[in-house]
Chain A
Amino acid sequence: MKKTILLVDDSMPMLFLLEAVLGKEYAIVTAQDGLVAMSWLMNGNKPDLIVTDLQMPNIDGWELLNYISGSYLFQDTPVLVLSGFYKENTGDLHLKCPNVREVIQKPFDPTKLMQKIGYLLSGTLSVSA
């Protein structure tokens, strides 16, 4: 069975692009903000990986991370943050939310993103550059 990735981004073209790139290997669920993502998660769904943007309307990425942190349900769910913010502003994200395994800045190389996701989902520790 294909592993499921929850993609959260408020940019529609970005969602389409990510869905096209990742959709070949994974089952994709998309949400255009944290509110939709949270509703989906609260309905008892559990993805194998969450890829989220930070700046979004209604419920943003930081808030979504709050929800995931310290929860039994998502204890072993890795999160990859994909945002336009500089590393300096996102460096402490993994402290705020232990689920954050990787922070990738936009613009990004989709080929490398695929690799990182491959590592995260196979349980191999990735070396963050």
Chain B
Amino acid sequence: MNTFTADLLKNEYIQTVNTKVITLNAPDREKFILVVGTSKMEQALQEKGFAFIHVKQLKDVRKTLTVFQEITNEMPVAVVCQYAKGLENNLQEYWSNGGSFPPLAQMPFFILADEKPIEDVQHFRARFRFVDDIITPNAWDHLEAKIATITKFKKISSFPAGEQQEVAAPRYTRHFLSNFMKRGLDLVVAPAILLPLLPVMLLIALLIRLESKGPVFYAATRAGRNYKVFKFYKFRTMVPDADKKLKELQHLNMYTDKKDGPVFFKVSNDPRITRLGKFLRNTSLDELPQLLNVIKGDMSLVGNRPLPLYEATTLTTDSYAERFLAPAGITGLWQVKKRGKKEMSIEERIELDISYAHQRSFRYDMWLILNTPKALVQKDDV
């Protein structure tokens, strides 16, 4: 220390405030810690590269700091107070007398509790708000980082609200009325389409059974709103066990250019599709059973693509997560905009989902429903 010596402090003040002042050859001399009470923490602090000032009692803190500042024009980076019986009373006194001393308010204040932790720590913290933390003897490794964090916290907290870094404004609000009307529409429209079409559906079911053995419906696991996993129903359009044959077809995948990021699978003219299946797909009749999902509440008439889980798990990132805030839908922005076009990229599809999740409203849903029919007739067998 060039600007002051331990002797100077000793000579001038030790008699008056009865403090022991020790300076050490710390590598970073800026970092002084004010140690309160009798303990063995000096050695630990020394090992961690801190210098320290030692006072015996809390009531000496303010006086000592005033003196220290006068001489060195510096302040310790933190106060560490050894816990001892009866400390509660002293803390009360300390804060009511010396708490208003401005540098103290900005300085992290720790209580070091050895083997005997304070019994009701939470109550203790609530009573003494100026105590920033109660630390364990194992905390030395973390002390420097803790001091930095709490100092920063105190500094930012004292900023006027406008000067803090702004956190992202909520892009999403819960539109209760819109959601209510949406669900109402689902519950009216889905049965209204389903009931008159029951004979047609029975016929389709019969034809599927006649063409190939296997179940009538295909139930896939999909993720919808809030990543709710549900069984997604379709008429079966592929040969049975089509999922198992997926691996054999990986080389035909249209989306193979990307190694990282979202995974998608789609092939043109998939050989697993049956002849009837092709017809059902072209007419979108295979999607009729989804109306059951709508009635069950897994999906909505309008929404985002119901994603298979292998795709869905790749989209739980900060930038994509918003898509899961909208329900899965039978139709949606992705249908209306570019259905079946080969050139639609993975990113475009995701963007459309996010865009829908962001803009969705009852009116927007109506617009999408009105624009769906012309998008329904597909040009490519996708």
Instruction: Give me the interface of A with B, judged by CB distance under 8 Å.
Output: 9-14, 16-17, 20-21, 32-33, 35-36, 38-39, 42-44, 46, 56-59, 63-64, 66-67, 69-73, 75, 84, 96-97, 106-111
A10 lies within 8 A of B317 (CB): no
A69 to B320, CA, bound (A): 32
With both beta carbons as reference points, the residue of chain B lying nearest to A20 in the complex is identified as B226
B153 lies within 8 A of A69 (CB): no
**Do A73 and B121 form a contact, CB below 8 Å, given A20-B227, A44-B126, A84-B318?**
yes
- Write out the residue numbers on chain A whose beta carbons fall within 8 Å of the beta carbon of B136: 70-72, 75
**Do A17 and B227 form a contact, CB below 8 Å, given A84-B317, A109-B313, A110-B316?**
yes
A4 to B246, CA, bound (A): 42
Main secondary structure of the interface of B (DSSP, over half): helix
A42 to B113, CA, bound (A): 18
Question: What are the nearest 6 A-B pairs in CB distance?
Answer: A70-B139, A20-B226, A13-B322, A11-B318, A57-B165, A66-B145
The answer, among A73, A106, A108, for a CB contact under 8 Å with B125, is: A73
A71 lies within 8 A of B135 (CB): yes
The answer, among A13, A43, A58, for a CB contact under 8 Å with B165, is: A58
Q: Does B17 contact A (CB under 8 A)?
A: no
- Give the distance to chain B from A56, nearest Cβ to Cβ, in Å: 8
Instruction: Give me the interface of B with A, judged by CB distance under 8 Å.
Output: 113, 117-118, 121-122, 125-126, 129, 132-136, 138-143, 145-146, 148-150, 152-153, 156-157, 164-172, 225-227, 229, 309, 313-322, 324-325, 357
A69 to B135, CA, bound (A): 9
**Do A35 and B324 form a contact, CB below 8 Å, given A13-B171, A58-B156, A69-B146?**
no
B139 lies within 8 A of A71 (CB): yes
A72 lies within 8 A of B145 (CB): no
A17 lies within 8 A of B153 (CB): no
A67 lies within 8 A of B135 (CB): no
- Write out the residue numbers on chain A whose beta carbons fall within 8 Å of the beta carbon of B125: 42, 44, 73
A73 lies within 8 A of B164 (CB): no
A66 lies within 8 A of B118 (CB): no
The answer, among B122, B142, B171, B320, for a CB contact under 8 Å with A46, is: B122
A16 lies within 8 A of B143 (CB): no
**Do A10 and B168 form a contact, CB below 8 Å, given A17-B226, A70-B141?**
yes
- Give the distance to chain A from B95, nearest Cβ to Cβ, in Å: 16
The answer, among B143, B167, B325, for a CB contact under 8 Å with A10, is: B167
- Give the distance to chain B from A40, nearest Cβ to Cβ, in Å: 12
With both beta carbons as reference points, the residue of chain A lying nearest to B111 in the complex is identified as A72
A107 lies within 8 A of B167 (CB): no
- 16 A-B residue pairs with CB within 8 Å: A11-B319, A12-B170, A16-B172, A17-B227, A17-B324, A17-B325, A32-B168, A33-B167, A35-B153, A35-B156, A59-B156, A63-B149, A70-B139, A72-B117, A72-B118, A72-B135
B138 lies within 8 A of A67 (CB): no
A87 to B211, CA, bound (A): 50
A44 to B127, CA, bound (A): 9
B226 lies within 8 A of A70 (CB): no
- Give the distance to chain A from B15, nearest Cβ to Cβ, in Å: 37
